[in-house]
Copies of this chain bind each other. A is one copy, B any other.
Amino acid sequence: MVSPRWVKRLSRALGRSKVLDRLEDRFCYGFDATGILRVPDLVVRPETADDVVTAVRLAFEEGVPVTPRGAGTGYTGGAVPVGGGVVLAMERMDRIERILPEEGTAVLGAGVVNGVFQAAAERLGLFYPPDPASLEFSTLGGNIAECAGGPRALKYGVTRDYVLGLEFVSPGGDLLRTGLLAEGPDAGYDLAGLLCGSEGTLGVITRCALRVIPAPRARRTLLFSFETRAMAAGAVVSLTSERVVPSVVEFMDESCLLAVESAGATETGFGREQLVLVEVDGDPEEVAEAGLRVERAARAAGAARVWVASDGEERDRVWAMRRAISPALAKLAPTKVNEDVCVPRGRLADLMTRVEALSRQHDLRVPVFGHAGDGNLHINFLVDGNDPRERARAERAVGDLMRATLDVGGTLSGEHGIGLTKAPYLEWELGPSGMRVLGAVRRALDPRGLLNPGKFETYRGEPCS
């Protein structure tokens, strides 16, 4: 709980309109895509970096936890204020300050929505590659804090690869600028890099400088079907070891296709098959040749069917199908536990076999899709979360999945982060010395543990409303 006196002090410092204290308002800022809810004591909607400094300083003086929040689209509870206190909702810091084509740079507020930025860049013939599924909603600040990826990460890398500088407020209330946003970009430790993927535990990102690149002039989209998951996994490996780097290599298993069809989202035209969606981009001649090379490689890997988008409309249709998977799966069961793990590409087939085994063992439906080219799979456990026995089964299955992922040399998170939901497993991956270093870095910047508490570490408190 926060004291009314302190709330008054904060409101006076920021202006009343930036502080929300009514339950119905606070409620809206208490959950993310996991559905986990913890209503914060207060919501602050800063409009400037100075507002963030003020809020962080006053909160930390008072010992009030602060949880930064972009759009709350995360899948690991990163924005859920499990420690109570203040949610800093960054949505109003949504100014596109500049996009400079000749420099290949952009400077934006942390609250700018990814898709809004993409569209603005496109109008200038530019391209911002990171494309998480949430791009129509999620903010760049949130993308950076979680180091978001997306289908194009295979060729173009993840959010971290586009960050040229950050402005952020340290837990001590200092306003820091790094990289392009500083007087100079790179001297000293790479703090911008450290903030990427720090899940809001090391600082509140207020502005960012991002790299934009020339838009590719041509694209080719291909779809291949395979009889088994193992064959599809094998194809992914051979497609990515050709002398061409596809921009996209996505996998969708048959149950994802069925879900899309039964949701009536689109007519896929594909049946009980495993699909691999490939895109190549670049200059027109290059793309034509790369497309042929990819097609040859897919056939050699045993593709049953080959489909090539003949125009932009067909391309849009296949992408609509791909994007429909996640919402379509959500309709199949009351609760969809969307896990996100990443393994070396060569171990994809192993991971798929293990997922099949644990689906049988725990008697759960487990559709699989994801950014296979990066070894990054989204593994969805469909359960009824209101049934305690089913929920317990899903929890055991998730633990087994994490263990299986680490067994084949993978990592707990491809792009969704650790947050709250994977915190219990983090030590399995990092070991005691890794946890020690993580804790040391965190304590160095946030000695009192007030910034996004409960993330990375196991949080055993009971979320409540």
Q: Is A305 an interface residue (CB 8 A)?
A: no
Tell whether A346 pairs with B243 under 8 Å between CB atoms, given A286-B282, A429-B182, A444-B443: no
Contact A412 B170 (CB under 8 A): no
Nearest residue in B to A341 (C-beta to C-beta)?
B184
Which one, B157, B214, B289, B426, contacts A243 given CB within 8 A? Answer: B214
Q: Is A291 an interface residue (CB 8 A)?
A: no
How many angstroms between the C-alpha atoms of A430 and B125 in the bound complex?
34
CB-CB < 8 A to A102: which residues of B?
237-238, 240-241, 345-346
Tell whether A418 pairs with B188 under 8 Å between CB atoms, given A176-B434, A444-B444: yes
- Kindly supply a per-residue 1/0 record for chain A positions 148-188, scoring 1 wherever the CB is within 8 Å of any chain B CB and 0 otherwise: 00000000010011000000001010111010101111111
Which one, B188, B202, B217, B412, contacts A438 given CB within 8 A? Answer: B188
Within the complex, what minimum Cβ distance (angstroms) separates A216 from chain B? 10
Within the complex, what minimum Cβ distance (angstroms) separates A166 from chain B? 12
Q: Is A385 an interface residue (CB 8 A)?
A: no
Which one, B197, B240, B285, B409, contacts A184 given CB within 8 A? Answer: B409
CB-CB < 8 A to A180: which residues of B?
344
Tell whether A411 pairs with B184 under 8 Å between CB atoms, given A191-B437, A345-B103: yes
How many angstroms between the C-alpha atoms of A202 and B245 in the bound complex?
34
Within the complex, what minimum Cβ distance (angstroms) separates A181 from chain B? 10
Contact A187 B282 (CB under 8 A): no
Contact A437 B433 (CB under 8 A): no
Q: Is A198 an interface residue (CB 8 A)?
A: yes
Contact A186 B125 (CB under 8 A): no
A172, A175, A183, A412: most-surrounded residue (chain B CB, <10 A): A183
Within the complex, what minimum Cβ distance (angstroms) separates A128 from chain B? 15
Q: Is A406 an interface residue (CB 8 A)?
A: yes
Number of copies: 2
CB-CB < 8 A to A412: which residues of B?
184, 187
Within the complex, what minimum Cβ distance (angstroms) separates A55 from chain B? 17
CB-CB < 8 A to A241: which residues of B?
101-104
Within the complex, what minimum Cβ distance (angstroms) separates A130 from chain B? 15
Within the complex, what minimum Cβ distance (angstroms) separates A463 from chain B? 22
Nearest residue in B to A102 (C-beta to C-beta)?
B241
List residues of A (7-25) whose CB comes within 8 Å of B's CBs.
Answer: none
Contact B342 A433 (CB under 8 A): no
Nearest residue in B to A422 (C-beta to C-beta)?
B187
Contact B456 A188 (CB under 8 A): yes
Contact A184 B443 (CB under 8 A): no
Within the complex, what minimum Cβ distance (angstroms) separates A103 from chain B? 6
Contact B437 A170 (CB under 8 A): yes
Which one, B160, B345, B422, contacts A193 given CB within 8 A? Answer: B160
Contact B174 A433 (CB under 8 A): yes
Nearest residue in B to A216 (C-beta to C-beta)?
B243
Within the complex, what minimum Cβ distance (angstroms) separates A398 from chain B? 15
CB-CB < 8 A to A411: which residues of B?
182-187
Contact A174 B283 (CB under 8 A): no
How many angstroms between the C-alpha atoms of A161 and B147 in the bound complex?
15
CB-CB < 8 A to A217: which residues of B?
243
How many angstroms between the C-alpha atoms of A186 and B104 in the bound complex?
28
Tell whether A444 pairs with B440 under 8 Å between CB atoms, given A190-B193, A283-B286, A346-B103: yes
Contact B191 A405 (CB under 8 A): no
Q: Is A364 an interface residue (CB 8 A)?
A: no
Within the complex, what minimum Cβ distance (angstroms) separates A215 from chain B? 8
How many angstroms between the C-alpha atoms of A186 and B160 in the bound complex?
12
Contact A174 B101 (CB under 8 A): no
Q: List 20 A-B contacts (CB under 8 A).
A: A102-B238, A102-B345, A103-B241, A103-B346, A147-B190, A160-B193, A172-B436, A176-B437, A182-B430, A183-B406, A184-B406, A184-B411, A184-B429, A186-B342, A186-B413, A187-B412, A187-B429, A189-B442, A191-B438, A194-B194
Given contacts A102-B241, A176-B433, 12 further A-B contacts (CB under 8 A): A103-B346, A175-B433, A183-B406, A183-B431, A184-B412, A186-B197, A187-B426, A189-B441, A190-B194, A285-B285, A441-B444, A444-B444
